[in-house]
Amino acid sequence: MTDNIYSGLGQLGQSSSIPASPEEAELERVANPHTDTLYLARFTAPEFTSLCPVTGQPDFAHLVIDYAPGAWLVESKSLKLYLTSFRNHGAFHEDCTVAIGKRLEGLLEPKWLRIYGYWYPRGGIPIDVFWQSGPVPEGLYVPDTGVAPYRGRG
């Protein structure tokens, strides 16, 4: 009998509450069974929310996270809980977007990672934030995000 590779996961298949903050959120990873293959994994969070650190008003974004896995994959339930933990977190758009990218890069050590933060306008100005860990690996197919640039009423 072999060891269950998922036995160390604390959230998968369990009742889990929303972490109080991104710092308290536990991101989990699992072994990538295809480390010899260059491929892209994409997570899309079209209803991401955080709080403006100045006004306390909610900010909304459509996040797209692309990564080329190395030895690890992010466990999706832990990612969902981590992203949800920003709901009561006060930070500027740039900080939220880059912090998520850096945390995932540190956890997963991917061949490549990019996060796209398409923030909805408040005060009339949309802010789009993009961060990546380095150049796109040669031969990696990165499809368009499918998120249209903000056009207002146009």
Q: What is the pLDDT of residue 2?
A: 40
Q: Check 52, 66, 96, 128 and give the catalytic one.
A: 52
Q: What is the pLDDT of residue 122?
A: 82
Q: How confident is the model at residue 123 (pLDDT cuts 50, 70, 90)?
A: confident
Q: Check 3, 59, 66, 95 and give the catalytic one.
A: 59
Q: What is the pLDDT of residue 151?
A: 77
Q: For residue range 68-81, what is the model confidence (pLDDT) as tens digits?
A: 999 999 999 999 99
Q: For residue range 2-19, what is the model confidence (pLDDT) as tens digits?
A: 445 555 566 655 678 899
Is residue 3 among the annotated active site residues?
no
Q: For residue range 39-96, what is the model confidence (pLDDT) as tens digits?
A: 999 999 999 999 999 999 999 999 999 999 999 999 999 999 999 999 999 999 999 9
State what percent of residues in the chain have pLDDT above 90. 81
pTM of the full predicted structure? 0.89
> Domains along the chain?
29-132 (3.30.1130.10)
Q: What is the pLDDT of residue 1?
A: 35
Handedness of CA 40, 46, 51, 53 (dihedral sign): positive
Query: Is pLDDT above 90 for 31?
Result: yes
Is residue 96 among the annotated active site residues?
no
Arithmetic mean of pLDDT, 135-153: 90
